[in-house]
Amino acid sequence: MNNTNIYQLAVTGVQKLIPYKAGKPIEELERELGLTQIIKLASNENPLGPGKQAIAAIQKALPELALYPDGSGFHLKQALATKYALDASQITLGNGSNELLELVARAFLIPELEVVFSQHAFAVYPLVTQAVGATAVVVPAKEYGHDLAGMAQAVTAKTRLVFIANPNNPTGTLLAQAELEQFIGALPDTVICVLDEAYFEFVSQSAAINSIDWLKKFPNLIITRTFSKAYGLAGLRVGYSLSCPEIADILNRVRQPFNNNSLALAAAEAALADEEHLHNTISNNRLGMQQLTDGFKALGLPWIPSAGNFVSVDVKREGMPVYEALLRKGVIVRPVANYEMPGFLRISIGTPAENTLFLQALSEVLD
C-alpha cells in the first residue's frame, strides 16, 4: 500500500473533509515577511486580552499542574449555574464551544440524518456534519442572515439538528427574539436546535435575547457559549453548553473526561466574576465598531451591520488581493470567500490604535 491509499482507510465523511483554516498567526507573518509591527484583526479575539482576575487565577493554579484537572469542572459549573439560575446538571463544558458542536454531532447524528443551517453560517457546522457522514441542508441566506421561514421549510423527517448562530459569524446579523422563539417552538420534537451564542455578550441590551428562559419550555434546545471572545481566553479553549439535564447527560457520555485543563477552568471561573473587564471589553467594542464603520463610510465602502465584535466590509473588488496587500503592511484580517462572500473581508474590532492603523492601511491599499 502506498501513502495515497491510506486516505481510503478513513471513513467517507473524513476522506472528503477540508480542515477548518484558522486566522494567520502573527508569528507566521513575521517569518514570511520579516515584519515586526503587526496587528491581528482576524480571529475575533479580545484586543484587551484576559482580565487581571483571570491572570491571577492562572498564576495561583500553576503549582498544581502535575495533577489532573477536575474532570467534572465542578467549580466552573457551579459559577455558571449561579450566574444563569440553572442547575449544574444542565451544563456541559467543552474545549471551546467548537468541541461542543462536535459533541452534539457525534451524539445525535448518523449518515441517514440531515442537518439544517444557513448559508454564510459558521464553517464548523458543515465540518462536523460531514465528519459523521450526515447530510447538510444549506438554506440560502436572507440579507446575509438566517431565513428562518426557509429553514423551517427545509426541516423534514430526516432532520435531527438545526444550527443557528446568533449573532451570526461572519456576517454579524442578529435575529429578533419573537421570530427566533417562534421558530424553535415550531420544530418537531425529533429536531434539536443548537443556538450558537458565542458573541452574545456584545449584543446591545435593547436587542439582547434571554434565550436561557427558553430552556424551561424547549427540551430540544442547546445553547452554546464561550470564554474565547468577550472574556479574552481564546488560548485556553473553554466553552459551555446549556440544555435540559438529559441532553447534558448525553453530551457528557461522549465528552473526554479531562477536556478542560486546570488553568482554563481556574481562569474561566475568575473571568466570569470580573464584571469590570467585561464592561471594558464591551465598551471598547462599541466604540471600535463606530470607529470602523465611520472609516468605511469615509472610504465609500458598504458593510453588514454587526452585533458581534467584528464587521464584514464589502471592498468592492475581490477580497483576497486586498487581504494579501494588507498582510504586506502588517495587518491581518480575515478573507471570507469560503463563506461565499468573495468581495468581503471580516475585521475584528481592535483597540483604537489598531483600528486606526487598519483603516490607514486599507485606505492605502484601495487607493
User: In which band, very low, low, confident or very high, does the pLDDT at 297 lie, cut at 50, 70 and 90?
Assistant: very high
Maximum CA extent, the chain: 61
Check whether 4 has a pLDDT greater than 70. no
pLDDT at 209: 87
| pLDDT cut 70: percent of the chain above it | 94
Q: What average pLDDT does this structure show over 38-49?
A: 96
CA angle, 290 then 359 then 43, to 5°: 75
Residue in 236, 202, 195, 174 with CA at minimum distance from that of residue 348: 202
pLDDT at 28: 75
pLDDT at 199: 97
pLDDT at 138: 98
Q: What average pLDDT does this structure show over 285-304?
A: 98
Considering just the CA atoms, what is the radius of gyration of the chain in Å?
Answer: 21
**Is 34 or 300 the better-scoring residue by pLDDT?**
300
Q: Of the ranges 1-15, 69-83, 208-222, which one carries the lowest mean pLDDT score? A: 1-15
Q: What average pLDDT does this structure show over 276-304?
A: 98
Helix (H) or strand (E) holding 362: helix 352-366
Model confidence pLDDT, tens digit, residues 63-96: 999 999 999 999 999 999 999 999 999 999 999 9
Q: Where are the domains of the chain?
A: 11-40+276-366, 52-273
pLDDT at 286: 97
Q: What average pLDDT does this structure show over 331-353?
A: 97
Check whether 3 has a pLDDT greater than 70. no
Check whether 324 has a pLDDT greater than 90. yes
Model confidence pLDDT, tens digit, residues 137-169: 999 999 999 999 999 999 999 999 999 999 999
Sheet holding 344-348: strands in order across?
303-304, 310-314, 344-348, 334-335
Answer yes or no: CATH 3.40.640.10 is held by domain 52-273.
yes
pLDDT at 22: 67
Give whole-number Cα distances, 341 to 121, 168, 276, 292, 334, in Å: 11, 14, 36, 19, 11
Check whether 19 has a pLDDT greater than 70. no
pLDDT at 32: 73
Q: Which DSSP state fits 4?
A: G
Give 361's contacts (C-beta < 8 A, 6+ positions apart): 326, 329, 330, 331
User: Residue type for 291, please?
Assistant: Q
Check whether 272 has a pLDDT greater than 90. yes
pLDDT at 367: 86
Mean pLDDT for the chain overall? 94
- The reply to whether the predicted model has a pTM over 0.75 is yes
User: In which band, very low, low, confident or very high, does the pLDDT at 222 lie, cut at 50, 70 and 90?
Assistant: very high
The superfamily in CATH containing domain 11-40+276-366 is Aspartate Aminotransferase, domain 1 (3.90.1150.10)
CB 94 within 8 A of CB 254: no
Check whether 36 has a pLDDT greater than 80. no
